[in-house]
């Protein structure tokens, strides 16, 4: 198998050819593709086996003729096509065309300014650099392509009649490929055979979509029934399928057998390229799509090209420069024309006439002069600007990637920049749009609480344990960071070996595109921590509930031989039992054990489920099947009783022959069936008992090694929770689920159907046959809002119905309570189906399944038919923990002046509570909730809110000004936002209202309101709405937006925003693939924006400004000279210097500065995030600074021109001997200017500057000594050498730069000392020793978090509960003003004023009052608040006008939670800034608990006196 490793050298098939081929094919074969086995003689070839090699080649040609092969070719160029293609691409850039045009202008003799060859040099240089970069990229792509193309896999060879090893690139469509466990799938393959007993194959699609759970794929129907080994030679069917497309979630087609039978193909049959086979020993399939037609590659789009705001602004200024250039040239042309006219009459001696002796007319001369001037002054448009910016950005990206502080050790991933050219946008963000789940939260689900049939089990022990975990976690982190080393977490140690194995396997293929592979790593590694972290696994059961579960178990174990085992349980206990059964089986969790994949069992079970046909159904429900059913349960428990299942198989075969009609089956009395089944089941169960128990013991030990791999983390959490109650999912086959209970033993549920979860239904269901009752049960699990509506309507007449109703309302209340706590809620419900109902449903469902068009819609309808009249079992509350550092990050980002909006699909209560938890909302601030039922209501509500916000704003203005004043004077005082934004409320809006608010008529109002608000929370929003919101803000407010998210639902938002950030987390790679930057955690956003964003922006802005300055100044020198040479476009600077000055002599220092300069060090930026605002306000680069800069450039060029002019005036110097000092002066001035602008001088800067000077003089000396007669017109032989012996040269070089830079330096010094900007203050702050910095930093945080306890304590929670109580009353407009206790009159009771609040249950009130004492400490904390006395009147006066809103009929609910303790905090903050000593005293009253702040404040007070 040794082949030439020459993927590209071979006359490859570049994209063009492939495209051509596709085009040719299009008219021919329409919308489908037909795939045949390659092993069959292709039509038209008579003798296929005419020799192995020849045949193989022909076969290959035959295949390749029509369809793409599996060769991966991501390279853009071949050796031949590189030059033309690359040049073509480069000339798409307007600047390049411009420069080439200018260079070509030199070839026109009349206007040429430079030697044509020389003029081309810079352009060629730039083009060459870019081309080299492209070439290098292409080469690395080629190398990785080559590597992937030469991976091996087993392909069936006709010649050798067996599977032989081939390279990936040799695989054709129609080949048969055999894949073993942990192999990567080389192409899109239709699964034809699997070693799995059920014809299943598990694949991991992490590489494709980042989802780390295993997906199940199924052998094509018809092939799974084959008993013998699949033989590719026998495969004669024809496959018809769709054309290649990039839809990963869809595959349609059919397979046509020889006998004309058709079978449908779905995405479950397709193995996608790039995925990995897991848990399956071997599979065989036929290649359907290969190479670039695979879905994986069709989905693979390159990095995005965005244009940053700064670049847009810069382009605008480039246009100004063009205008300036034209003006200068015009001026010069007119001047020349006049000059020529003046000297025309008398033929001056110095006049050079045309070759025929006539002299040019003034107009012609002017035109020539104009063109020549354009050439000479072309430097004004900086040719190197674009290249330099690109270089700087690449370096910036490199440094961001390298930042160790952005490295996440847990996932071993660092930040990735996927978009290379918008780094500076990071420094100008104004709005952040964030997803919630997985972005703010971990998306690691932990089971917290549940309620079953109306009784709540609070799992207190579990909560405590979790708290301990959290502490331990943080301690561990500290230890890690202290030690500096990076030890592995103990908790994941057990997965270590697995991880390494995964790594070594997947590295090969996933280096295709670096970022993808990296992202894959992240998900790979996070997998084990995510889905089997000890937190989820070890759940401390609630003792009460545990007792009940055991009781069920015991009862049922005893009663299992009786007719209605469940009837022996009380309704509650039976609910408990069903609840846990539902938790255990109503999911798609795959049980894996660390050992090897399941062996292929020769003899299969007779039934394949889900039930596919009516015959299937009949077979299953035939009496004989039922009698043997329980024996199979027993045999399943032992799992390897093959002989028994063999007999089963035989018996079913006979059953098949004696099929009875459906009606007959159904008419059989269920009772009889059940009893029949049970007796036989018990019979088979009893004798094996002892042996089985031993086995159980063994398995129990093993059981702990079982891992659950779920599609969503919630599912895993629930299954682990059920296992904690000894109700463990032990095995899941395609058609059955086994649950292990301590007394009952293993219960095997026959799985009839799974109706998977989808986001429209928001629920999933399983249809099973209960082994105990033999009933057909539907277990449904879904969002509470959906499930609650699907419950069986219960009459309030009988006691049972009333009881049910009570349970429901109780459950609903608990659900609300969970939501308040920020838990994700799920409802569990059940439905018992009669056989008739089931049969009826099944029929329609099968019809739906088999229909070809409109299948999804029909299936949806079918699911709805099944999931009705449910019986509520209970509900669960799962906690999605906040990610580390989210509240702190949000606080910092907010200080930085960023508006943070959270757009989530979660429900309002959960979202609000997460928002509280992550300090997005403050308990001390008002929350405006917008829930409107109709367009009109929404409009009215918006008006009301606007009115309210406006009426509020005047009272906040005095505080605002105070805050600003204090900011102006001290770098240490809190930022203005924290002081001023206090009074501004927050807005919460739900999806429906959002839809109304985003309407054309209302969007302005909505935006205006949202602008006034401190934070905005959009709940229940769809992905489309998310992107619409972002688009709205971006287009209407002209603001820079950043969207961050982790899931597929955030993709649209990420794409719309100026900067899209993906979190490479749990939910897959879609978000990352769409993003510009991928961060491992939300908290890294802080450093990314505040530090790197700021740096990138300020560096680039300064560099661009410097570029403009430099070029203008240089061009100015030439322009002034025109006044002394009759505007003849003569240049005193040697053309070599002119051309290479920008490119060589003066380029390096600014690059170094552009890459490395740090205007403010990172720690100061992080301490004082308000410095970020300079970027938002575009302080560094705005039109004013640009023009100032240009004016300075003009001044400097005047000085640098006239000092040498006057110094050499009246001397015998010649043009170029005079021009050389000017060049030197310009160089020195540039470097000194850069020196003033550079804030940090590292040795690199010094080296770069030194290098520049050295390079200039070296080049000049060499150039001036190289050729005596060359380089006309300057002919600079020995010029520099002569100059170096001339004192005047040194004298001018000394004075001119000093004089030129004097004003700038003076201005800078005065401005920096008298009116320092925030940045300059920050810089001064940095100059102090870093030790001093720590003190203000901590007090800063303290001051900011005033009025709210740092950690989430119980007393805070109690206040929280009071808020959302009103939110469940959706029927009425509710309005409550909450004022926690900042009045001196406040008693120990929470002062909650709830108006018009219909409570559903009194219990809650009781609970609330029960918890109320907990809030007393908070009161105590706040009692000392000084400004409190004024609070009371304000609050009461405010409630009065608000109550008028009740009269508005249309409001579903409108909640104002206004609380005023923040105002007191505000007052204290102001005082804090004013007088730190007083603050010190006050603060000790505020925060009695931690002793450190006092010390910090002491440090601060000492510090502040030091400052003033």
Annotated binding-site members: 435-437, 715, 757, 781, 824, 904-906, 1020, 1026, 1046, 1049-1050
Token duo for residue 144: 């990785």
Neighbours of 926 (CB within 10 A): 26
- Residue showing tokens 């809650």: 1404
- The backbone torsions φ and ψ at residue 546, rounded to the nearest 5 degrees and listed phi first, read -60, -40
The C-alpha atoms of residue 452 and residue 546 are separated, in whole angstroms, by 12
HSE-up of residue 1080 (Cα within 13 Å, Cβ side): 23
What are the residues facing 901 on neighbouring strands?
433, 1016
Q: Which distant-in-sequence residues (6+ apart) come within 8 Å of 120 by Cβ?
A: 103, 106
By beta-carbon proximity to other proteins, the closer residue of 969 and 1187 is: 969
The C-alpha atoms of residue 889 and residue 920 are separated, in whole angstroms, by 10
CB of 356 to other proteins, least distance (A): 7
CB of 1133 to other proteins, least distance (A): 11
Token duo for residue 907: 């429900």
Task: Determine the 3-state secondary structure of 746 from DSSP.
Answer: strand
CB of 737 to other proteins, least distance (A): 37
Q: Are 488 and 500 in contact (CB under 8 A)?
A: no
By beta-carbon proximity to other proteins, the closer residue of 690 and 1269 is: 1269
- Residue showing tokens 């001035």: 1229
Annotated binding site for Mg(2+): 435, 437, 1046, 1050
Spell out where 129-268 has E strands: 152-157, 162-167, 176-180, 188-194, 200-204, 214-218, 238-242, 253-256, 262-265
CB of 1506 to other proteins, least distance (A): 9
By beta-carbon proximity to other proteins, the closer residue of 1203 and 1381 is: 1203
HSE-up of residue 807 (Cα within 13 Å, Cβ side): 26
**Residue 20 Cα to chain centre, angstroms:** 36
CB of 1154 to other proteins, least distance (A): 13
Q: Are 1058 and 1034 in contact (CB under 8 A)?
A: yes
Q: Which distant-in-sequence residues (6+ apart) come within 8 Å of 1502 by Cβ?
A: none
Q: Are 1145 and 1256 in contact (CB under 8 A)?
A: yes
DSSP letter assigned to residue 1401: -
Is 435 among the catalytic positions?
yes
HSE-up of residue 497 (Cα within 13 Å, Cβ side): 3
By beta-carbon proximity to other proteins, the closer residue of 82 and 1507 is: 1507
Annotated binding site for ATP: 435-437, 715, 757, 781, 824, 904-906, 1020, 1026, 1049-1050
Q: Are 294 and 184 in contact (CB under 8 A)?
A: no
Task: Determine the 3-state secondary structure of 1041 from DSSP.
Answer: strand
By beta-carbon proximity to other proteins, the closer residue of 354 and 697 is: 354
- The backbone torsions φ and ψ at residue 1276, rounded to the nearest 5 degrees and listed phi first, read -85, 30
By beta-carbon proximity to other proteins, the closer residue of 176 and 521 is: 521
The C-alpha atoms of residue 421 and residue 403 are separated, in whole angstroms, by 18
**Residue 410 Cα to chain centre, angstroms:** 17
Nearest to 788, CA basis, from 641, 907, 912, 934: 907
Q: Which distant-in-sequence residues (6+ apart) come within 8 Å of 1508 by Cβ?
A: 970
CB of 1150 to other proteins, least distance (A): 16
CB of 1295 to other proteins, least distance (A): 5
The C-alpha atoms of residue 1486 and residue 1482 are separated, in whole angstroms, by 6
By beta-carbon proximity to other proteins, the closer residue of 521 and 1006 is: 521
The C-alpha atoms of residue 841 and residue 903 are separated, in whole angstroms, by 39
By beta-carbon proximity to other proteins, the closer residue of 332 and 908 is: 332
CB of 1274 to other proteins, least distance (A): 8
CB of 1215 to other proteins, least distance (A): 5
Helix (H) or strand (E) holding 873: strand 871-882
By beta-carbon proximity to other proteins, the closer residue of 171 and 522 is: 522
CB of 245 to other proteins, least distance (A): 32
Nearest to 1295, CA basis, from 1206, 1190, 1191: 1206
Please state whether beta strands 1015-1018 and 986-989 pair in parallel, antiparallel, or not at all (unpaired): parallel
End-to-end Cα distance, the chain: 80
The C-alpha atoms of residue 1493 and residue 1477 are separated, in whole angstroms, by 13
CB of 355 to other proteins, least distance (A): 4
Helix (H) or strand (E) holding 978: helix 976-980
By beta-carbon proximity to other proteins, the closer residue of 488 and 1396 is: 488
The C-alpha atoms of residue 911 and residue 880 are separated, in whole angstroms, by 11
Residue 1500: exposure state from Cβ atoms within 10 A (0-12, 13-18, ≥19): buried
Token duo for residue 650: 């035989």
- The backbone torsions φ and ψ at residue 95, rounded to the nearest 5 degrees and listed phi first, read -60, -40
Of 435, 575, 924, 1496, the active-site residue reads 435
CB of 1503 to other proteins, least distance (A): 14
Residues with a known catalytic role: 435
């Amino acid at each position: 198998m040794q082949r030439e490793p020459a993927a590209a050298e071979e006359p490859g098939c570049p994209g063009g050819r492939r495209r051509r081929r596709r085009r040719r094919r299009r008219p021919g074969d329409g919308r489908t593709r037909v795939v045949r086995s390659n092993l069959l003689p292709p039509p038209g070839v008579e003798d296929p086996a005419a020799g192995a090699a020849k045949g193989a080649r022909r076969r290959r040609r035959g295949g390749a003729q029509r369809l793409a092969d599996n060769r991966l070719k991501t390279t853009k160029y071949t050796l031949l096509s590189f030059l033309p293609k690359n040049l073509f691409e480069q000339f798409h850039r307007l600047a390049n065309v411009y420069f080439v045009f200018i260079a070509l202008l030199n070839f026109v003799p009349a206007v040429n300014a430079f030697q044509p060859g020389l003029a081309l040099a810079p352009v060629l240089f730039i083009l060459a650099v870019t081309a080299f970069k492209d070439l290098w990229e292409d080469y690395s792509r080629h190398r990785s392509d080559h590597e992937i193309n030469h991976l091996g896999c087993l392909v069936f060879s006709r010649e050798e009649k067996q599977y032989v090893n081939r390279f990936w690139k040799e695989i054709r469509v129609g080949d048969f490929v055999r894949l073993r466990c942990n192999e990567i799938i080389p192409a899109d393959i239709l699964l034809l055979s699997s070693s799995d007993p059920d014809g299943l194959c598990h694949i991991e699609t992490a590489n494709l979509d980042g989802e780390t759970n295993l997906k199940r794929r199924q052998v094509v129907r018809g092939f799974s029934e084959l008993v013998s080994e699949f033989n590719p030679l026998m495969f004669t069917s024809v496959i018809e399928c769709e054309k290649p497309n990039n839809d990963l979630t869809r595959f349609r087609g059919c397979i046509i057998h020889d006998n004309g039978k058709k079978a449908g193909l779905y995405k479950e049959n397709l193995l996608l390229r790039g995925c990995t086979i897991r848990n399956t020993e071997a599979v065989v399939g036929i290649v359907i799509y290969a190479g670039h037609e695979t879905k994986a590659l069709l989905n693979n789009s390159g990095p995005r090209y965005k244009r940053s705001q700064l670049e847009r602004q810069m382009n605008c200024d480039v246009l100004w420069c063009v205008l300036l250039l034209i003006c200068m040239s015009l001026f010069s042309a007119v001047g020349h024309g006049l000059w020529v006219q003046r000297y025309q009459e008398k033929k001056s001696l110095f006049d050079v006439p045309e070759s025929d002796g006539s002299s040019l007319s003034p107009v012609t001369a002017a035109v020539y002069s104009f063109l020549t001037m354009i050439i000479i002054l072309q430097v004004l448009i900086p040719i190197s600007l674009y290249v330099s910016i690109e270089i700087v950005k690449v370096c910036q990206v490199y440094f961001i990637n390298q930042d160790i502080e952005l490295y996440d050790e847990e996932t071993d991933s660092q930040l990735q920049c996927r978009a290379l050219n918008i780094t500076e946008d990071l420094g100008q963000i104004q709005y952040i749009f964030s997803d919630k789940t997985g972005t703010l939260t971990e998306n690691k689900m932990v089971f917290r609480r549940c309620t079953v049939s109306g009784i709540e089990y609070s799992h207190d022990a579990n909560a405590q344990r979790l708290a301990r975990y959290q502490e331990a976690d943080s301690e561990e982190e500290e230890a890690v960071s202290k030690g500096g080393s990076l030890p592995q977490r103990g908790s994941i140690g057990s997965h270590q070996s697995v991880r390494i194995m995964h790594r070594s396997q997947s590295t090969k293929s996933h280096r295709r595109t670096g970022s993808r592979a990296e992202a894959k790593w992240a998900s790979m590694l996070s997998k084990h921590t995510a889905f089997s972290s000890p937190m989820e696994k070890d759940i401390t059961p609630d003792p009460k509930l545990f007792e009940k579960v055991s009781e069920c178990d015991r009862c049922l174990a005893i009663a299992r031989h009786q007719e209605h085992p469940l009837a022996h349980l009380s309704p509650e206990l039976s609910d408990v039992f069903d609840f846990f059964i539902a938790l255990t089986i109503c999911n798609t969790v795959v049980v894996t054990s660390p050992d090897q994949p399941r062996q292929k069992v020769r003899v299969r079970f007779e039934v394949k489920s889900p039930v596919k046909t009516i015959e299937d159904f009949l077979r299953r429900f035939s009496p004989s099947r039922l009698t043997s059913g329980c024996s199979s349960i027993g045999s399943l428990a032992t799992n390897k009783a093959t002989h028994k299942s063999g007999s089963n198989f035989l018996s079913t075969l006979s059953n098949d022959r004696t099929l009875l009609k459906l009606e007959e089956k159904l008419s059989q009395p269920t009772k009889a069936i059940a009893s029949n089944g049970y007796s036989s089941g018990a019979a088979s169960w009893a004798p094996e008992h002892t042996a089985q128990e031993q086995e159980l013991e063994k398995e129990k030990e093993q059981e702990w090694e079982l891992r659950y791999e779920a599609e969503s983390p919630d599912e895993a959490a629930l299954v682990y929770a059920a296992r904690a109650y000894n109700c463990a999912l032990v095995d899941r086959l395609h058609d059955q689920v086994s649950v292990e209970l301590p007394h009952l033993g293993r219960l095997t549920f026959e799985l009839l159907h799974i109706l998977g979860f989808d986001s429209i239904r928001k629920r999933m269901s399983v249809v099973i046959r209960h082994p105990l009752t033999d009933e057909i049960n539907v277990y449904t699990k879904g969002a509470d809002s959906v499930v609650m509506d699907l419950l069986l309507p219960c009459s309030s007449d009988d006691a049972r119905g009333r009881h049910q109703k009570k349970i429901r309302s109780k459950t609903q209340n608990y659900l609300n309570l969970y939501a308040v706590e920020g838990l994700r809620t799920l409802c569990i419900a059940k439905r018992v189906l009669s056989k008739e109902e089931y049969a009826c449903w099944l029929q329609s469902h099968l019809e739906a399944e088999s229909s070809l068009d409109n299948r999804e819609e029909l299936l949806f309808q079918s699911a709805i038919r099944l999931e009705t009249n449910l019986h509520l079992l209970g509900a669960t509350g799962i906690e999605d923990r906040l990610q580390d550092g989210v509240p702190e990050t949000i606080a910092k980002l907010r200080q930085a002046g960023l508006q943070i909006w959270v757009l989530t699909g979660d429900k309002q209560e959960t979202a609000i509570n997460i928002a509280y938890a992550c300090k997005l909302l403050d308990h001390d601030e008002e929350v405006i909730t917008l829930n409107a039922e109709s367009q009109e209501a929404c409009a009215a509500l918006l008006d009301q809110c606007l009115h309210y916000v406006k009426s509020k704003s005047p009272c906040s203005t005095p505080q605002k000004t105070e805050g600003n004043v204090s900011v102006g004077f001290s770098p240490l005082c809190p930022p203005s936002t924290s002081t001023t934004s206090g009074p501004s409320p927050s807005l919460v809006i739900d999806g429906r209202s959002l839809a109304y608010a985003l309407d054309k008529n209302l969007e302005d109002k909505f935006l205006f309101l949202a602008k006034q608000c401190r934070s905005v929370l959009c709940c229940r929003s769809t992905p489309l709405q998310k992107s619409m919101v972002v688009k709205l803000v971006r287009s209407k407010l002209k603001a820079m937006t950043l969207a961050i998210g982790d899931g597929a639902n955030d993709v649209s938002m990420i794409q719309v925003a100026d900067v899209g950030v993906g979190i490479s987390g749990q939910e897959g790679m879609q978000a990352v693939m769409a993003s510009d930057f991928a961060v491992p955690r939300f908290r890294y956003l802080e450093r990314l924006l505040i530090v790197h964003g700021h740096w990138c922006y300020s560096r680039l802005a300064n560099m661009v400004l410097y570029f403009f300055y430099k070029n203008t100044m240089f061009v100015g020198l030439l322009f002034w000279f025109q006044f002394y040479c009759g505007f003849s476009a003569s240049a005193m600077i040697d053309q070599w210097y002119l051309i290479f000055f920008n490119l060589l002599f003066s380029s390096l220092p600014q690059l170094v500065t552009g890459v490395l300069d740090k205007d403010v060090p990172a720690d100061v930026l992080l301490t004082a995030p308000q410095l970020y605002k300079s970027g938002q306000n575009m302080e560094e680069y705005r039109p004013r600074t640009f023009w100032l800069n240009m004016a300075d450039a003009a001044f400097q060029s005047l000085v640098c021109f006239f000092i040498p002019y006057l110094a050499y005036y009246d001397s015998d110097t010649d043009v170029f001997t005079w021009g050389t000092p000017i060049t030197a002066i310009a160089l020195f001035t540039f470097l000194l200017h850069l020196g003033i602008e550079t804030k940090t001088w590292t040795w690199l800067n010094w080296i770069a500057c030194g290098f520049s000077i050295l390079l200039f003089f070296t080049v000049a000396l060499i150039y001036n000594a190289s050729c005596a007669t060359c380089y006309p017109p300057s002919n600079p032989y020995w010029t520099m050498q002569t100059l170096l012996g001339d004192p005047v040269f040194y004298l001018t070089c000394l004075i001119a730069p000093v004089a030129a830079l004097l004003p700038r330096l003076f201005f800078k010094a005065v401005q920096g000392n008298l009116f320092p900007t925030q940045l300059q203050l920050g810089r001064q702050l940095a100059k102090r020793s870093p030790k001093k910095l720590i003190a203000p930093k901590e007090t800063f945080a303290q001051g900011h978090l005033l009025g709210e306890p740092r950690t989430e304590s119980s007393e805070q929670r109690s206040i929280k509960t009071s808020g959302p109580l009103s939110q469940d009353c959706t029927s009425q407009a509710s309005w409550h003003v909450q004022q926690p206790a900042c009045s001196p009159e406040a008693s120990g009771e929470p002062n909650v004023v709830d108006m018009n609040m219909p409570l559903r249950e009194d219990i809650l009130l009781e609970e609330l009052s029960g918890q109320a004492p907990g809030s007393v400490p908070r009161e105590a904390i706040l009692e000392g608040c000084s400004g409190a006395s004024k609070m009371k009147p304000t609050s009461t006066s405010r409630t009065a006008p608000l109550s008028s809103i009740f009269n508005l009929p249309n409001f579903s609910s409108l909640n104002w939670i206004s609380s005023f303790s923040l105002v007191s905090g505000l007052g204290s903050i102001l005082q804090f800034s004013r007088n730190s000593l007083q603050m010190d005293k006050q603060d000790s009253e505020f925060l009695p608990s931690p002793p450190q702040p006092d010390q910090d404040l002491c440090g601060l007070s000492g510090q502040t006196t030091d400052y003033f």
